[in-house]
Every structure is written in C-alpha cells, then in structure tokens.
Structure 1
Amino acid sequence: MNVSKLFLAASTALPLIAGSTIALASDVSLRISDDSVHSQVNVTPNGSNIDLGAGYMYHEGSRHIVNLDLHAKGQTAVGNLPTTAGVGIQATGFDDDSVDGGAVGVGGFARLNIPSVPGLSFEGALHYAPSILSFGDADDLTRVRAQANYRVIQNADVFVGYHYLNADLEGHSDVTLDKGLFAGMKLIF
C-alpha cells in the first residue's frame, strides 16, 4: 500500500469526521509537546458502541503522522472504579524525509474515573502492529499513551501525559516517531 494514498485517505476522512461531529459528536482534542502537535476527532454514532476517530500529528522536522481508529467501546469496572474501555484497531501512517510507512495496530484504551475526586480520571492506550500488519519502511509499530485528565467544566477536560510512538524498520533499525510529555485539552460535545 502506498503511504501517499493513506495520507490522502486520512486527509479526506478527517474533515468528513470533523464535519459530522455536529450530529454524532463525541470529542475533539489537541495535544502539544515540545516537538509535536496532535489533533484528534472521535465520534460515536447515536445508539452505537462503536468509536471512530481520526488524527493528525506534525512533528518538528517535517514528520507527518496520521491515524484512523475503530474501536468497540463500552462501560466496565476495574476494581471498583468505573471504566470506559475500547478494543479495536488503529491504522497509523508516517511520512518523514528519509522513511515512510505505516501499520494497522491491534489494541485498545481504558479510562478510569476516580469517584472520590470528581473530574479526575486516568487514561491509557496501547496499539501494536507486527510485521504482517506493517507496510512501507515499517516492520512493526508500537504506540503507547498514558495521561491524567481533569474535567474543568461539563464539556471540557485538560490533561497531561506521556506518548511513545516507535517503528522498527526493515534492515533491523528503528525510528522513534514521537515520544515525551504533553499537555492538552479535550472538548466534549
């Protein structure tokens, strides 16, 4: 699969998903670190347990990273903590000066709410794509995110966290596409 086709598909899907947020909205987030900025739109069709998402990250030095997400989402509990969890796939494509590629990672996310501190929650996500689900220069891909959220008003969160995105490349080398601490906000519709 050509990486430029993935970017074309993502650049087409992101405005369509963002435009549909009026009828189906879930959330829009912006995450900023010293080296990168990432925007993400997630929607859940009315009456559905499916979560759709699209994101774009610009990393300093002309690195572009896109993601398309599809997760089954539901409510559960971890211990006695109310939790929203999702299991599914995240397609990630990257384009840099010297390498480009992508992968379809399998994994999920969880958000644990802390009832004793209203508004506080902890969130984590992990997606991994082995060689068979990777293309271009990527031989496998790992994406990890951990963050703490605080709901400042009914429809807005602020958060801080850590993100790690790494691709092993053909030829036994690897490239860390993004890593480090970030801060951001999420608007919930």
Structure 2
Amino acid sequence: MKVTRVSVMLLSLASAPLAYAGDVDLSLTNDSAKGQVNFFNTNNDTQVGAGYTYHEGSRHIFNVDAHAQGRTAIGNLPTTAGLGVKGIFWDDDSLDGGALGIGGYATVNIPRVPGLSFTGGLHYAPSILSFGDSDDMTSLELRGSYRIIRNAEVFAGYRYLNTELDSPYRGDVNLDEGVLAGIKVFF
C-alpha cells in the first residue's frame, strides 16, 4: 500500500506542472514521503510552490506557498531569502484541518565550498489563521544541501510540522517530524 501511494505521488508530480517548474524536491523521513514543486528560480522576485506529504498511518498533508524573494547577504555569505505565506491542509482519518502560516526562509551559500548551502524555513499560524481541527500550526524545516551537478543537489535535515488541536480534542499533534534526506532537481 505504501509503495502504491508513493508511486501515485511521484506520477502526479511528474505530470503537467513539471513543464512550468523551476525545481522539484523529493524527501523522505522514517515515516513520510514529500514532493514539492516550486515554479520559479532563485532569480525571480516571487516564489510559488505546491507540495504533498504522505505520512504513515494514512495522513495526507498538502501545502501551497507564496513568497516574495530576493538576494541579500548574511555577513559576507550570499543569501536568498523569502517572506510570505504557507497554506497547509491536512487530513487524518476522522480529523482534518489547516492553517495559513506567515513566515519565510533563507538559503545561505558557502563560497569557500562551492555547492554547499544551508536552508532554514519557519512559518507560524495562530488560531485566527487556523481552521478545522487545528487551533494553531508551526512549520519548521532545516537542511544542508550539496549541489552534486549543475542541476541537482542532495540534502539532509530536519522537518517539524505541529498543530494544536481545537476543542473537543485538545493537545498537540506532530503531523510530520523527523530527520529527512532527499534530492532537488532544477529545470
């Protein structure tokens, strides 16, 4: 059953949207598989993307991202940063919900080691921007990447997606959490 869902996810990501993609990102944790398509490259002033995560136990997580982005520097390190929103929608058996998180990301390139970069992204949605069974939501992803060829890189990192459940359920649920590894292909 797991193989079938992952195959369907990969085939759906490989369809028409790839014709317009700037990059495709595939990652795995011990309990989940995620595919992300970003439609513009790092030279554009905006970045729009969409993703799907299948988490073991029949949890489905969808995201849609929209960020203003630009080039800057942290110290003397070239950096691409983005500020914007991440819409996250999840479904898990009898519970479902979502949120519109506000936040951003930054990718810092290390000039002394060509191809090496570090990325961090954080989005938070308070209860006013949450719906369904979610009362708030936090999305965090940290990764180190190494570009092995001109149009592909490998990465490893950590992903954390947490929501507080609304009444009557109460409590926190880690929708997706764990050490991740993956590949990113640029078009």
TM-score by length of 2: 0.88
Any idea what the Cα deviations from partners look like across 1:28-83, whole Å, max 9, x if unmatched? 010011100000000128x8411010000000000000000000011000111000
Q: How does 1:124-163 map to 2 (within 5 A)?
A: 124-163=120-159
Matched residue type, 1:124: G
1:169 match: 165
Q: CA deviation at 1:173?
A: 1.1
Post-superposition CA distance 1:99-146 (Å, at most 9, x none): 100000000100000000010000000000000000000000000000
| Contact 2:25–2:37 (CA under 8 A) maintained in structure 1 | yes
Please, which of 101, 104, 124 is the counterpart of residue 105 of structure 1? 101
Kept after mapping to 1: 8 A contact 2:23/2:40: no
Q: 2:184 aligns with which of 179, 186, 189?
A: 186
Return 5+ residue gaps in structure 2 as ranges. 1-11
Instruction: Report how many aligned residue pairs link the two structures.
Output: 174
RMSD: 1.9
Q: Percent identity?
A: 56
Question: Runs of 4+ in structure 1 displaced over 3 angstroms?
Answer: 15-18
Do the aligned residues in 2 keep the contact of 1:161 with 1:182 (CA within 8 Å)?
A: yes
Partner residue, 1:37: 33
SS of residue matched to 2:128: helix
For structure 1, the 5+ residue unaligned runs are 1-14
Which residue in the other structure is 1:114 paired with? 110
Report what 1:86 is aligned to: 82
The match for 2:71 is 75
Aligned with 1:115: secondary structure?
A: coil
